[in-house]
Amino acid sequence: MDPERFVERLPQLCIGARMRGFPQGLDDLDVFLQSVASEIPREPVLSERWVNAAILRWLEDVGLHVEIDHVNIRRRLVDYGYLSRTRDGKRYALTDKVVDVPDSRAVIARALEERAARRAAAEAEGRTGSRSASGTTPGGA
């Protein structure tokens, strides 16, 4: 996974428009699932409760506009090979498909800061631009 691509796409996926379904493209789906998987501890065996808690944390902290149920995310992680599951479905483990990616929380925090700075700059430009664009001069002439 290209770290620059991850840093570019993760905010677009998680804090752009509301995401009600999984990304359609395989590259975006990989960014999404790698980010979620990075939240899951690298323990040899995890209970379903631990995996669910990790996904819920990710949804709260990173997937701010993601409206996909944690159970469906867990299933997708298994279906696409990021998590392995025992036959009885009670134990999980990360697979070798999960790679080190940049810290998702830091990526989202930076993107939110950049968005706020752009908005503030646009508002400031709007305030100064509207005065000069009015075509009036001091004194009303």
Looking at residue 135, its pLDDT comes to 52
Residue 133 has pLDDT above 80, yes or no: no
| Domain membership flag for residue 88 | yes
- Parallel/antiparallel/unpaired status of strands 46-47 and 83-85: unpaired
SS3 at position 26: helix
What is the C-alpha to C-alpha distance for residues 84 and 78, in angstroms, rounded to an integer?
6
| Domain membership flag for residue 49 | yes
**Number of domains composing the chain:** 1
Looking at residue 139, its pLDDT comes to 52
| Domain membership flag for residue 135 | no
Place of tokens 């100064």: 128
Looking at residue 104, its pLDDT comes to 94
Name the average pLDDT for the chain: 88
- pTM above the 0.85 mark? no
Contact 105, 39 (CB under 8 A): no
Structural domain for 89, as ranges: 3-127
CATH number of domain containing 85: 1.10.10
User: Using one digit for the tens of pLDDT, what is the confidence trace for 64-105?
Assistant: 889 999 999 999 999 999 999 999 989 999 999 999 999 999
User: What average pLDDT does the segment 120-130 reach?
Assistant: 76
Q: What are phi and psi of 63, to 5 degrees?
A: -85, 60
| Domain membership flag for residue 141 | no
Amino acid at 96: D
| Tokens (6 digits) for 70 | 């944690």
